[in-house]
A and B are shown apart, each in its own frame.
Chain A
Amino acid sequence: MSGTVAARITVERVGGRVRMTDLVGGTYLRAQPLGVRGGAARVALLGTYALLLAGDDLRMEVSVGPGVWLELVEPSGMVAYDARGGSASWRADLRVADGGCLVWRSAPFVVTSGADITRNMNVHLSGSGRALVHETLVMGRSYESSGGPLRSLTRADVDGRPLLVEDLDLRDPVLAGAPGVMGGNRVMTSTFLLGARPERSVGVQETLLHGPGALSRAVAGQAHEAEAAVADSWGRWRSGFADPVGYEEENEDEAA
């Protein structure tokens, strides 16, 4: 697993203008700038080959500077293939500074049967920084009844205080399929709003976290069912808490 290069995306203000000061695709991805508009930037993440295979170790480091809005766009899904006795890992470290905002609607993460994968997402927020992240984990391709083993860890903190810690451990098929865990469902979709708290939760998918944040989640047999169940949360939270317009306008005023 050594020798792989992490993808690095750093967007910050330099002399009042937003710049992508670091844009490295790393071993597994290509990071393609889609443009900057005022304080808002967009970057596409493209896979360099069919991901992930045994021994692969994909790492991403994303850093959003103070007052910057960044959206990551992932046009195609990620597939973890049968590791045939080996294993693979995926890790994203996301940092958002005070006044910054990260929006990432990640593409479905498909874990085929036999893929032994550990997934780690860490979100570090400072001050009023926030992140809106969406993920869909699919256990097995459409013709497979299950996938994995998978272990997916999520950690989010605000100024070093824990906001959300989750460890979805589906390595033991008995526990993974047990009632209360996945209960025979293949798909779990989650939308995380971190660093901002809506006034109340709407519908049975949403819950407010103890700290500044909310989670919308659905488990279902098929990806489209799970996605449909949380679609409303994504739309509402995006326009309410992660809208680029404020950033775009603010900076165009500065430029003028």
Chain B
Amino acid sequence: MSTGLGTLLLADARLPVGGHTYSAGLEPALLDGLPVERIPAYIEARMRTVGLAEAAASVLAYRAVGGAFVPGRIEAGPEGLGVDADALADVHEALLARSPSAPLREISGLLGRGLVRLADRLWPEHPAVKALRTLGRAPQRPIALGVVAAVMGSEEAEVARVSLYDDAQTVASAALKLAPVDPVDAAGWVLGAEGVISSVVAEALAVEGIDDLPARTAPQIEGWSLEHQVKTRRIFVA
């Protein structure tokens, strides 16, 4: 039963899962010369590449732990109602294969660890959380996000939307710390991404399994992440 509160919590930067350490690649992008007025184009590019892959992985993780459970439609697995730990591990592995950049996998694991810690404390006995724990202490964030959303009763489309919203909002709020940007303009960028987010949500929901999990490559985003990890003076880890 969805109250919607869980989804709001996942979209809230005040949730103590470590999101403030991450600029979604904006810091290295600006250091490489990205002009401030191109940040909205950067947000859109993220949505359509890495954003799509992550949102779709969250949706598959959500489904793997029975998030889409409707009585009578999905059979209960041995781990609990619709929870399939093997399917969850397959989604995690598929996402890792789509994340060639080691520093980006690392930051995703750090953010995933924050969600695991939250889930461990709030729902230690939940079968979906137990399945998540089999992936280690720091699973990739989209996988942990899908599981936590399932446990909190979010709906499928909300999972994809919160994943994309968070990514766009991460760029926008990091911009405030990195460049002379009016906070109102930054909020406008996120709202301006609504159209692309809606279409990417639809794409993510249409994904049926790991074989068609999107893997859109953003070579510059990867490259920036590699350059950033060797920088000594930086505000964000990635």
CA distance A179 to B32 in the complex (A): 10
Contact with A along B198-229 (1 / 0, CB 8 A): 00000000000010011111111111101100
Which residue of chain A lies nearest to B92 when distances are taken between CB atoms in the complex?
A210
User: Cβ of A180 and Cβ of B218 under 8 Å apart?
Assistant: yes
Chain A contributes a number of interface residues (CB within 8 A of B) equal to: 31
Contact between B227 and A204, CB atoms less than 8 A apart = yes
A253 touches B (CB below 8 Å): no
Instruction: Give the chain A neighbours of B230 by CB distance below 8 A.
Output: 204
Q: What residue in chain B is nearest A213 (Cβ atoms)?
A: B100
Do A175 and B94 touch (CB < 8 A)? Answer: no
B93, CB-defined interface residue at 8 Å: yes
B41 contacts A178, C-beta separation under 8 Å: yes
The one of A162, A165, A168 in contact with B219, judged by C-beta atoms closer than 8 angstroms, is A168
Q: Residues of A contacting B105 with CB < 8 Å? A: 210
Q: Is the CB of A180 within 8 A of B93?
A: no
Bound together, the chains give a CA A144 to CA B219 distance in angstroms of 21
On whether A208 and B102 interact (CB within 8 A), knowing A162-B97, A165-B94, A180-B221, the answer reads yes
Q: Confirm or deny: A133 has a beta carbon within 8 angstroms of a beta carbon on chain B.
A: no
CB distance from B228 to the nearest CB of A (A): 9
Q: Which of B42-50, B63-71, B121-129 contacts A (4 or more CB under 8 A)?
A: B42-50
Q: A207-B222, A217-B219 are in contact. Are A166 and B100 (CB under 8 A)?
A: yes
**What separation, in Å, do the CA atoms of A210 and B11 have in the docked complex?**
28
Which residues of A sit under 8 angstroms from B38, Cβ to Cβ? 179
Number of A-B contacts (CB under 8 A): 95
Q: Is the CB of A181 within 8 A of B45?
A: yes
Residue from B38, B42, B97, B227 whose CB has the most chain A CB atoms within 10 Å: B97
* B115-159 near A? 1/0 per residue, CB < 8 Å: 000000000000000000000000000000000000000000000
Whether A205 lies near B226 (C-beta < 8 A) is yes
Q: Is B99's CB within 8 Å of the partner chain A?
A: yes
Q: Say which residue of A161, A166, A204, A207 sits within 8 Å of B217 (CB atoms).
A: A166
Q: Which residues of A contact B25 (CB under 8 A)?
A: 180
A64 within 8 A of B: no
Interface assignment of B96: CB less than 8 Å from any CB of chain A: yes
B100 close to A164 (CB less than 8 A): yes
A177-192: which residues lie under 8 A (CB-CB) from chain B? Answer: 178-183, 185, 188
Which of these, A162, A169, A178, A180, contacts B94 with CB under 8 Å? Answer: A162
- Chain B min CB distance to A218 (Å): 7
Q: Is A96 located at the chain interface by the 8 A CB criterion? A: no
Interface residue? A163 (CB, 8 A): yes
Could you mark each residue 8-50 of chain B with 1 if its beta carbon is under 8 Å from any beta carbon of chain A, else 0? 0000000000000000010001000010001001101110110
In Å, the complex CA distance between A208 and B99 comes to 10
Name the residue on B nearest A163 (C-beta): B97
- Can you list 10 pairs linking A and B with CB atoms under 8 Å apart? A161-B93, A167-B217, A168-B217, A178-B44, A180-B45, A180-B46, A180-B220, A207-B222, A209-B102, A217-B219
Name A's B-contacting residues (CB within 8 A).
Answer: 161-169, 175, 178-183, 185, 188, 201, 204-211, 215, 217-219
Among all A-B residue pairs, the 5 with the closest Cβ atoms: A178-B45, A162-B97, A210-B96, A180-B45, A165-B215
Beyond A207-B226, A210-B97, 5 additional contacts (C-beta under 8 Å) are A162-B94, A163-B97, A180-B25, A218-B223, A219-B220
